[in-house]
Amino acid sequence: MFDDYYSGSTLLKPLSNKIGIEIDRLNFVICQLIALCVAFLMRNYFHPSYTSAAIRHIFSFTVGILLSYFCFGYTVFVISVSYLAAIHTKRLIYNYGSYNLDITGPLMVMVQRVSGLAFSLHDGLACDYDKLSQYRKKYVTKKKPSLIEYYGYLFQFQSILAGPNILFKDYIQFIDGSNFKNAEIKDYSCEPPVIYVVLKKISVSVLCVIINLTLYSSFSIDKARVICTTLTRFMYYHAWILAEAVCNASGLGFNGFDENKNAKWDLAKNVDILGFEFADNLRNAISCWNIGTTVWLRFLVYERLERYEKYKTLCTFALSAVWHGFYPGYYLCFLTAAIFVSAARTVRKFVRPYFLCSSQLKLFYNFLTFLITKFAMGYFTFPFVMFDFWSAIIIYKKLFFILHVSAIITLLALPSICKRLPKPATPMIK
């Protein structure tokens, strides 16, 4: 049934059958490779130094629309949260438990852009700038975009299929070339080369998809759940790193220079693989995963609930769950994650100070929290992979809900226990 969504299915179906790759994933990879080639074309033949912003907007959204149509058909034009919810529901009913790539992906990206731009305009036009948090000030937009700017931003081809969520002001600076001018690059020939950066990211993307394809089939989700959730991440690494390479190839993603005068191409970064895999706490892990979405959630929800401090984390995860869809496993995953994050903050606040009196103790604490974080990530994310609520509950029951119980005890009992203990020694290190 869902094959009807894929406009490119007729052309690519024989190739899909021959090489044994699902048509939706083949469509995605081919479109991203086309986007990569077009990105180099845009940077070299539609450069802002000799191409008007209007032409670059038109080029961006025209290619984006064509790629979207090739993958998903006409319905990608409808942009609204209600339509996204309807598509999530249809997927739930007719294609339950499938990892097929459908139009929900681009719609999720466009919902981020539409809502993020609306909130940026609200902060810029209807709020007192001085009363905004520093985080919200970074994304303020004080001028309503023109129609061509709006649709150019919405359908930009570099990130229409897999993200990341690019902020409106960053997109406009890319279109008019001010992202390079702000770094005091005045001449096109002096712009930092990007070919090495793109090739490096393509190599990482290819490596990730090879790992996913070769190892994932070796493990059953019913027999090795934690391992499978780890391998599933490589599918996301592949898609996000490839999308980042497409952005960089067109010049989108340039973020100035570091202290050593090396060009930074991390403005369109959506995942930090090493930062995520080796994070020693949940906060750092979450900040390294789906970075564009994390920024969007913080900007829309977390930073706007100053009066409801206790509910900020829960509300943020709730929006994340709705945005992802309506599989019951998503809600169990994000509810568990919200509890774990709150518990981890409690531990950091009350326990960590006792381990800061020496570098050895701090190293031991960091290693211990690294192990707990890895276990916790596998524990609360496998309902996301399995989709089903009761299947996950059965597994949690076999594990005696050990981390759920530990997290709740931490939240309820740890503050009062630590208040009765002697105060920690004055920290020698931070």
And the tokens for 269? 């970064």
Task: Answer positive or negative: Cα dihedral of 276, 268, 107, 21.
Answer: negative
CA neighbor of 105 nearest in space, from 136, 56, 67: 67
281 close to 344: Cβ distance less than 8 angstroms: yes
- The Cα–Cα gap between 174 and 250 comes to 9
Q: Decide if 88 is catalytic.
A: no
Collapsing DSSP states into helix, strand and coil, what is residue 158?
coil
Spatial distance between the Cα atoms of 6 and 71, rounded to a whole number of angstroms: 5
Q: Which of 38, 11, 6 is nearest to 25 (CA)?
A: 6
Of 138, 95, 162, 118, the residue nearest 387 (C-alpha): 95
Instruction: Answer for the pair 264, 256: CB distance below 8 angstroms, yes or no.
Output: yes
Cis amide bond preceding 164, omega within 30: yes
Structure tokens at 254: 């340039």
Active site residue 290: yes
From residue 261, give the alpha-carbon distance in Å to each of 189, 257, 301. Answer: 17, 5, 36
State how far the Cα of 78 lies from the Cα of 104, in Å rounded to an integer: 11
Give the active site residue among 47, 100, 255, 324. Answer: 324
Could you give the CA distance from residue 279 to residue 58 in angstroms, rounded to a whole number? 41
Check 165, 248, 290, 404 and give the catalytic one: 290
Helix (H, G, I), strand (E, B) or coil at 180: helix
Alpha carbon dihedral 367, 372, 374, 378, in 10-degree steps, equals 170
**Residues designated catalytic:** 290, 324
